[in-house]
Amino acid sequence: MGRMSDDPAVSDELPEYAERVLAVAERIPPGRVMTYGDVAEWLADGGPRQVGRVMALYGGAVPWWRVVRADGLLLPGHELRAMARYRDEGTPLRTAPRTAEGHLPRLDMKRARWDGREAPGNGRGDGS
């Protein structure tokens, strides 16, 4: 491969931006979530759509269910997978007030959103 093509980033490893996004995703503690926009903001680079693209392409290698949309809507096509994780991790969900079917719960962003400030050691911050 002596080809020093002008594309050093296209080798066998991911683009650096993707690496950073995945690193943040890995950093999110169980039971908590970060929005695409939060990840971008935390990285101080790119935007929610760029983070979303990375997750779509390489998210399978990290806890993808902890990177969610700002509106708390579950990832279409993976609702059940994510659901199982949330139930297992105890991620705060908002149960639909109405007992309607097909109406899957959404994340309680108010409580589940994580800023990335510090480890949740004692997650007990049941914000009343």
Partner DNA sequence: AGCGTGACGAGTA
Partner DNA sequence: ATACTCGCCACGC
> Which residues of the chain form contacts with DNA (CB under 7 A)?
15, 35-38, 46-53, 55-56, 59-60, 64, 67, 69-71, 75-76, 78
Q: How far apart are CA 66 and CA 114, in angstroms?
A: 10
Kindly state the smallest distance separating residue 75's Cβ from DNA, in Å.
5
**Closest approach of Cβ 101 to DNA, in Å?**
14
Q: Provide the minimum distance between the beta carbon of 104 and DNA in the complex, in angstroms, as a whole number.
A: 11
Q: What is the distance between the alpha carbons of residues 15 and 51, in angstroms, rounded to a whole number?
A: 12
- Residue 27 or 53: the one with the smaller Cβ distance to DNA is 53
Write out the two tokens for 86: 């949330």
Give the CA angle between residues 114, 47, 41 to the nearest 5°. 40
For the CB of residue 13, give the shortest distance to DNA in the complex, in Å. Answer: 14
Query: Between 23 and 70, whose beta carbon lies closer to DNA?
Result: 70
Total Cβ atoms within 10 A of residue 84 = 11
Are 57 and 95 contacting, i.e. CB atoms less than 8 angstroms apart?
no
Nearer to DNA, 114 or 121 (CB): 114
Contact 75, 65 (CB under 8 A): yes
- 81 versus 87: smaller Cβ distance to DNA: 81
